Amino acid sequence: MIRTHDAGTLRASDAGTTVTLAGWVARRRDHGGVIFVDLRDASGVVQVVFREEDAHALRNEFCVLVVGEVNARPEGNANPELATGEIEVVASQLTVLSEAAPLPLPVDDTITASDDLRLKYRYLDLRRSGPANALRLRSRANQIAREVLHARDFNEIETPTLTRSTPEGARDFLVPVRLQPGTWYALPQSPQLFKQLLMVAGMERYYQIARCYRDEDFRADRQPEFTQLDIEMSFVTQDDIIALGEEIVSRLWSELAGYQVQLPIPRITWTDAMNRYGSDKPDLRYGVELNELTSYLKGTEFRVFAGAIAAGGYVGAVVMPGGASQTRKELDGWQDWAKARGARGLAYVVLDAETGEPRGPVAKNLSAEHLSGLADAVGAKPGDAIFFAAATERREAQELLGAARIEIAKRSGLIDESAWAFCWVVDAPMFEKTDEGGWTAVHHPFTSPNAEWLDRFEEAPDQALAYAYDIVVNGNEIGGGSVRIHRADVQSRVFDLLGISPEEAQDKFGFLLEAFKYGPPPHAGIALGWDRTCMLLSGNESIREVIAFPKTRGGYDPLTTAPTPITAQQRLEAGIDAKPKPTGVTPGTDGQAVPVERSN
RNA sequence: GGUCCUGUGGAGCAGUUGGAGUGCUCGCCGCCCUGUCAAGGCGGAGGUCGCGGGUUCAAGUCCCGUCAGGACCGCCA
């Protein structure tokens, strides 16, 4: 080491010690005869005092080596804002290790730059304490997860990132294969199939901090490559996985957020979550629950509601406390808000703050009877606003109300930003209808029906429930998992229902079905969205903050300028333009890579 | 694929009714300064208002297109 001490660790007890420090010039205050330099390294900042002219040439972010003596600061000059504020280092020797050009963005905790500039100069951005601490927190989170899992005899096992697609639904990133032109690897969307194979292999307890790839549009909480803490166990039930998830989460929150999670974390069924909150990831930091009015409003002549009721649909409402005081413009704004999410509008009734009398466009369409009991039916008080949604598809109307509920909480300031509200959402449905009238797996096709539905999910696919569970905090899904199917007969029945032919199943994941011939153990698992978890733990609002070198929304990396075009030579070698050769072999059945025309 | 917001010296912003590239804070360069800690004082440099077109006597400002960034919907666990 070329230094003897870390700058941020020096304290009054070090007074009198001669130290050698190395770091960056965070700030300089040049008084002519005396020059103060805040020297920053990974441990923090300390004030260095120069009385020699040579420090005059120092500029921000010069990398320097300083020899000096730790002194208590003169009376009245301590800085209580700094951990090192009681002392300073009086420099006797200065070496400039490297100079810094004028900075393209300020390296300063009090100043923010635009996102793309921060990403282009991410290495400067990360010299700031906030961004740096987010990465350090993530490192700690990794360590905590490993501690918990190794204490329980888990094995950390790496699975391939050049593989074939896992059938999770999203678009794959593809990699051309030089040795077999016209064939392609897919980057994994998750290690799902490999971890199940590891269960067949008898590893029993697997985990991996796994990089996953999905070629879909990005968001503040979505990047093309992301990380999950991926876990799988054999010979366990749903409750075992939930207990494990709770231990990890409670350790993370207690050590990194200073919050003691109350265990066990409450569970809510998927159906209850939809009925009460209009979401499968409900934010439980506030109330404002949905109220179903399908039977209450039976017989109404208001066409929007009557139509939904007649079609066996759903009518419901959510109350905005104090919402009656909104201006006409604000109330109209809700219509635009609803239309922006693809709804026709958001019907509303406001209750007069004095009399409680219902008013508004919809009130004119409701009978006196329906109006008189409305406030009680939805639990509204005078001065409140009531928003309605109606649809033939129950879920569609509930999701609109659920989104309105969140918007109400935001606009009315109902959210306690310091709160952590955890829940498990359990008993998720197995299947949902596709636009084509078939069925698709809500989770993935290896999710097991629960005991009640195992033998008869075909009877009512829309009602069949899975051993699937998501962990939710403050309206963010931070993890999800399921008990997997380990019986070949159940798996083929699920494929049947999903309209996956035996040939197609064989083509897509024949290797897994083959493995399941050889005594697969019952197994279950969970994956925690690691970026999102670290984002929440660090109090950030974008996962980019907990990723060292993230990409922008367009999948662009301003730092390396990736992605880039390739040369003609690379293109030729990669075999990108090779035409798939016709072949007599059924793809994927004999362990031999053969050209395959991809279905998506 | 859709809706919305943003783009002005190196950074962050303001820029009124369309009237000269105007302003603010920080940074940068020079000088002064021995106790500051977001140091202070004086002086200075730095601009094709993202790009292209249009309207107009006149465009940073209005219109169209386009590029980049961001938020949301679709999509995506």
Q: In chain A, pLDDT over 90 holds for what percent of residues? A: 74
- What local confidence, expressed as pLDDT, does residue A355 receive? 93
Tell me the mean pLDDT in the region A58-73: 97
Which residue, counting CA atoms, is nearest to the C1' of nucleotide B36? Answer: A29
Q: Is the CB of A554 under 7 A from strand B?
A: yes
User: Quick one: average pLDDT of A166-187?
Assistant: 87
- Scanning every strand, the nucleotide with its C1' closest to A76's CA turns out to be B35
Q: How far does the CA of A224 sit from the C1' of B68, in Å?
A: 19
Mean pLDDT calculated for residue range A208-231:
93
Contacts of A64 (CB under 8 A, 6+ apart): A22, A23, A24, A25, A39, A58, A94, A95, A96, A97
Q: What confidence score (pLDDT) does residue A505 get?
A: 87
- Six-digit token pair at A204? 């029993």
Flag whether pLDDT at A488 surpasses 90.
Answer: no
Instruction: Tell me the whole-structure pTM to 2 decimals.
Output: 0.93
- Residue A73: CB less than 7 A from any atom in strand B: yes
Convert the pLDDT of each residue in A145-173 to its tens digit.
999 999 999 999 999 999 987 666 788 99
What residue type is A169 in one-letter code? Answer: G
Distance CA A277, CA A85 (A): 50
- CA-to-C1' distance for A69 and B64, Å? 67
Following DSSP, what letter does each residue of A439-496 receive, concatenated? EEESS-TTBPB-TTTTTTGGG-TTT-BBSEEEEEETTEEEEEEEEBP--HHHHHHHHH
Q: Which residues of A are part of a known binding site for L-aspartate?
A: 168, 214, 443, 484
How does strand A205-213 pair with strand A155-156? parallel
pLDDT tens per residue, range A435-463: 777 888 888 899 999 999 999 999 999 99
A112 touches strand B (CB under 7 A): yes
Q: Average pLDDT for residues A462-468, to the nearest whole number?
A: 94
Distance, CA of A383 to C1' of B5, in Å: 32
Average pLDDT, chain A: 91
Of A95-99, A166-170, A223-227, A370-374, the range with the lowest mean pLDDT is A166-170
Q: Does residue A429 approach strand B to less than 7 Å at its CB?
A: no
Q: Is the CB of A211 under 7 A from strand B?
A: no
Question: Whose CA is closest to A471, among A459, A479, A461, A463?
Answer: A479
Q: What is the mean pLDDT of residues A221-239?
A: 96
Please give the pLDDT value at position A219. 87
pLDDT of amino acid A166: 67
A516: its two tokens: 């399941």
Tokens, residue A65:
């080596």
- ipTM of the prediction: 0.92
The residue that leads in pLDDT, A452 or A361, is A452
A116 touches strand B (CB under 7 A): yes
**A72 CB contact with strand B at below 7 Å:** no
Spatial contact of A495 and A505, defined as CB atoms under 8 Å apart: yes
Q: Determine the length of chain A.
A: 600
Q: Which of residues 279-298 of A touch strand B (CB under 7 A)?
A: 280
The reported pLDDT for the residue numbered A586 is 45
Nucleic strand B under 7 Å from the C-beta of A59: yes
Angle between helices A238-256 and A129-151 (to 10 degrees): 140
Q: Which nucleotides of strand B lie within 7 A of protein CB?
A: 1-3, 10-13, 26-29, 32-40, 68-77
Q: Average pLDDT, stretch A499-520?
A: 90
Residue A476 contacts strand B, CB under 7 A: no
CA of A284 to C1' of B14 (A): 41
| Average pLDDT estimate for A500-526 | 91
pLDDT band at A374 (very low <50, low <70, confident <90, very high): very high
Of residues 148 to 167 in chain A, which lie within 7 A of strand B by their beta carbon?
none
Which nucleotide has the shortest C1'-to-CA distance from A443? B77
Instruction: Answer yes or no: is pLDDT of A243 > 90.
Output: yes
Contact A84, A7 (CB under 8 A): yes
- Shortest CA–C1' contact from A212: which nucleotide? B77
pLDDT grade for A584, boundaries at 50, 70 and 90? very low
> Residue A411: pLDDT above 90?
no
